[in-house]
Structure 1
Amino acid sequence: MTHDEAARTTGAAGQDSPTTPPIDERPRPRYGEYAPEGWTWQPPVDPNAVPDAAADAEATGPSAASAVAPAPAPVAGRPNAAAPARDRLWTIALLVFGVFGLIYNIVALVQLPATALESAKLSSQMLGLDGPTTFTPGPAVPSIIATGVVLQIVLWIGALLWSRARLRAGRLSWWIPLVAGVVAFFVVTIIGMLVFASDPDFLASLSAANV
C-alpha cells in the first residue's frame, strides 16, 4: 500500500467514526444556579429597529403633562370649599343667642294682654302723662298672638336652615341670624300694635296721652 492510499484509508475511517465529545460529569444546573451575582437577562437589541415615537409619547405623555399642567384658576363666583372658622363660630353663637331671643319674644307675646295696661301706665308715668286706666282685649287677640308666636318660630328655623346651607357652600352666613333677629323685633312690635288696637278706647287713651 502506497503512502497516498494509506492516507485516504485513514481519512475515510476518520469520517465514518466521528469524535465523541467529552461527557460533562457536573450535576445538571438548576435555574440561576451558575449565573453570576447581579446578572439579569435582557432581550437583545436590534440595531436596525426604529423606535416607536407614538409608543414613547403614549408612555411618557400623561406623566409629563400632569407634571407641567398648571393648576386650574378659580372660577369667579364659585364658593370656597369651606366656610372660614370665624364665620362659622359667629353664626353658631348668634343662632344660640337667637334661641333665647325666641323664648323671650314668645313669652312677651303670650303675656301681652295681661301686661299691656301695666306697660302703658309705666310709660305714661315716665313721661309725666295721664295713661289709660283700662284695657279689654278684643276677640281677635288670641289669633293675633298665635300668629306672632308661629312667625317667631318660623324665623328662627329659617335662619338655622339658611345658615346651615350657606356654611356648607362655604359662604358667609353670620349676618343671617342678625337679619332674622331684626325681623323678629318688628314682628313683635306689629303684633303689639294690633293687640292694642283691639281695644279702641285703650288706643285712643294712648293717643291722647301722647298729644
Structure 2
Amino acid sequence: MSAVPAAPDQIVHVVDDDEALRDSLAWMLEANGHAVAVHESGEAFLAACTPEMTGCVLLDVRMPGMSGLEVFEELGRRRCGLPVVFITGHGDVPMAVSALKQGAVDFVEKPFGEREMLRVVEQCLRLERETRDRRLQEADTARRLGLLTQREREVLELIIVGKLNKQIADVLGISIKTVEVHRARVMEKMGAHSLAELVQHVVVLEPGAVPR
C-alpha cells in the first residue's frame, strides 16, 4: 500500500513497552514516509511531550507503570491536541471503547495489518493538520478583528447579516458614502476580496457573531 507522507513537522509517537512492537511499527511507518518517535513507557512519552508537538500518538493500553488510559487522561488535562489511537489486546477492547467516548480517535487490535494501521495513522495526521490549520485561521481572524475600529465592527456586524449599504447607513445614522469607506476598510483589514470571503473569515470564530 502506498501511503500519503505526513507534513514535515508531523511525528507519529509510538508508546509501547514491547520493544519488538515499537521497532516493527517504527520500521513500517518510516518505510511509508512517516517520521516516528518511540517511547518505552507512558511516563517517558509525557516527559517528552510539549505543547508544540504535532502529529499523533499510537498508545498501548496495557503498560507497566502508567496505563495507556492514564496517559490519555493526562494528555486531556494538559489540553494536548494530538489525536490518539489505542493499541489493544482482545481483552482491552471495552477500555478502548470507553476511551473513544472520551475523545480518542480509534483503536487497533493486535495483531494488526499494515494497511489497517496506515489508514488509521493517516486519518489521525489529516485530522491534526486540519485542526491546527483551523486554529491558525481563528487566531488570524481574531487578530484582524482587533484592528477594526468600533464603527468598523458595527458595519461588519450589519454586513454579515446581509444589510445593504443604505440599510447600514439608516441603522447607524451615517451617510452611504461613509458606509462605503468603512466597508472598504473592513474588507482590507480582514484580508477579504469578496462578501463571501468576509463572512467565511468571521464565522470561523463563532457563527453569526463578531467579538467586541
Q: TM-score range by the shorter chain?
A: under 0.3
Query: Under a length normalisation based on structure 1, what TM-score does the superposition of the two structures give?
Result: 0.24
- Structure with max Cα Rg: 1
* Higher RCO (C-alpha 8 Å, min separation 6): 1
Considering fraction of residues, name the structure with more helix. 1
What TM-score does the superposition give when structure 2 sets the normalisation length?
0.24
- Which of the two has greater strand per residue? 2
